[in-house]
Amino acid sequence: MKRWSWLVIGLTATVLHAQQPTLSPAQSMTEAGMIDIRSLVPDIAENMRYAGSDNFVGTPVDGYGAARCYLLRPAAEALANAERALRREHKRLLLWDCYRPARAVRHFVRWADDLADQRTRAAHYPNLDKRALLGDYIAPVSGHSRGATIDLTVMQCDAEDRHCRPLAMGTDFDFFDPKANTDSPKATPAEHTHRLQLRAAMERAGFRNYPMEWWHYTLSPEPSPNLIFDVPIH
């Protein structure tokens, strides 16, 4: 759902391969080589938006039969490392999306084509005509479908690590607007500092940020840069 074309992968829009991604024949998470992040961090905080209706589509998304975060093992292990390091600073991650089935991306495209459905405009694209979303923000292939990309934020916890709250970032998740750019000048100094704290934590664990979206990170290098998956999440 990002500004990536069929010929562009990576968070800096660098052309790496002049070929279309291949759809994996995997029929299960095991065959795909993916694991649930909770197998590594059982109490990691999750609010998997696409498994419910609190998202820009306004309804549960195709392929999300359960609110679970699956990733290819190298990405899951790197994410677990990021979480453990943050906990030493009384911080924690909050996950919104991980692996995304290809059928979910097709659902996004159908939604973008339905100009009559404007239910989520106020929350997700108040300054844009919906016709501008397809192509600029919603593409026919997503890096999430490759199993090494995560949408997330960071929370600050109290000294006992019992109560944690998300840090102010200036926009919500999936806010289609330049203000969501990681280095947007529209973010306040405090919001920008929080974005940089998240970016630093993720970079230390081996992830790179997509500059258009402060919440979007991909393991670098990707384990399977030319392979997308369509295994539903159960």
Active site residues: 213
Which H or E run contains 180? none
Bridge partners of 157, per DSSP, are 164
231: DSSP letter? P
233: DSSP letter? B
- Rounded CA separation 231/83 (Å): 26
- Rounded CA separation 36/155 (Å): 21
Handedness of CA 44, 35, 139, 59 (dihedral sign): negative
The b/e string for 115-152 (b: 16+ C-beta within 10 A; e otherwise) is: eeeeebeeebbeeeebeebbeebbbebbbbbbbbbbbb
